[in-house]
Amino acid sequence: MAGGAGERFWPLSRQSYPKQLLRIAGSRSMLSAAVERIQPLVAPADTYVITGRALKPAIEQEAGNLPPENVIAEPEGRNTSACLALASAYLDYRYDGEDVVTVVMTADHYIQDVHAFIRDCAAAIAHASSHDALVTFGIRPTRPETGYGYIELGESSPDDQAVRSVAAFREKPNPATANEFLESGRFLWNSGIFVWRNSVLREAFRQALPAAHEQIDPMRRALAAPNEQDALARVFLAMPRISIDYGVLEKVSNVAVVTASFDWDDIGNWGSLARLLEPDAAGNATFGNTLLPGSHNCIVYSTAADGHDTREPVVVGLNLKDTIIVRVRDAVLVLPAGSAQNVRDVVNLLREKGMTEYL
């Protein structure tokens, strides 16, 4: 899934070049890293990317050796339930008569231990192949994170000790509740990585989100129509706007969880850079030409100069604490580190003010 706008990474992430195409966590974009990560298990011919229609050309270019027809364009963004209902329809269309096992990932996860990731995926695939279960991955929490959803662990599977049932999904908690979750040892971060057979997902849609289920077969027929894009748009726009977690997973009883052995980070906002970039002795994480005299626990990201001026501007923060500064060619963002989740409010304000040239 690579259709998000990445608004919490504004001003670096823009509508025409969103977060999944950025090289925030290394020399490759997050999308190309995600595509490469799964290749030991899934051949490029069987790997698909779902994105927005306007982003399809850029995604095709960034997706490496994937066939161009494997980049699927949503008519518009309608959250992850609609995205995965479209994926179900497309797989039925592409693999007619097969009940394929599907690994679902997003393009903005940071995973370094690829061997462990592949090993855990193989275990989840084996379980999903032989059980009517929607399998997700849970991450052992390392801090009382308030920006993630949580999974409460249930009982172990009687025939597969690597898999447990999900007792409950919990929404993003307040700090006190996050501490309780961490100390109890019974809660995992919800990674947003899933494994299931296509028939099992369709049945879950039928039970929990009938409005989405009703559109899967019409979308499959639209994909075979001569005027595919128009036919698909008419059906897709009837899909409800809701996440797969709220719309389906929290409402059905056959959700299982594998506790991940791989490292994982959701690169969700500028605060994530404190974990991805090596901090200095004062806890400052920086990228680009920066000076932070007397500053502590700050995040500063500055891109290089454009045009004929070869000098890279310097960003200086004097005696700052817990502050984020982001400088790009046409915008500067300054905010307290505790407000990193709220950058989307800035994007909404720019939209309200008609300043769309900055989006």
Q: What's the confidence (pLDDT) of residue 129?
A: 97
CB neighbour list of residue 169: distance below 8 Å, 6 or more residues apart: 149, 150, 151, 152, 190, 245, 249, 250
Same domain, 185 and 297: no
Whether 205 and 139 share a structural domain = yes
64 and 93 both lie in a single domain: yes
| Residues 151, 239 share a domain | yes
The reply to whether 279 and 150 lie within a common domain is no
CA dist 163 and 123 (Å) reads 9
262 and 280 in a common domain: no
- Specify the pairing of strand 150-157 against strand 255-259: unpaired
Q: 18 near 5, Cβ under 8 Å?
A: yes
The pLDDT score that the predictor gives to residue 19 is 83
* Number of domains the chain is built from: 2
pLDDT in tens, the chain (359 residues): 998 778 889 999 988 888 888 887 667 888 999 999 999 999 999 999 999 988 999 899 888 889 999 999 999 999 999 999 999 999 999 999 999 999 999 988 899 999 999 999 999 999 999 999 999 999 999 999 998 999 999 988 777 778 999 999 999 999 999 999 999 999 999 999 999 999 999 999 999 999 999 999 999 999 999 999 899 999 999 999 999 999 999 999 999 999 999 999 988 899 989 988 889 999 999 999 999 999 999 999 998 655 555 678 899 999 999 999 999 989 999 999 999 989 999 999 999 999 999 99
Among 29, 90, 95, smallest CA distance to 64 is for 29
What is the structure's pLDDT at 27? 74
Q: Within this chain, do residues 304 and 236 fall inside the same structural domain, yes or no?
A: no
Domain, as residue range, for 252: 7-266
Shared domain check, 251 and 299: no
**198 and 222 co-located in one domain:** yes
Give pLDDT, residue 189: 97
Whether the full predicted model's pTM is greater than 0.85, yes or no, is yes
136 in any annotated domain: yes
Any domain includes 292: yes
Residue 1 lies in a domain: no
In this structure, the answer to whether residues 78 and 139 fall within a common structural domain is yes
CB count in 10 Å sphere of residue 285: 22
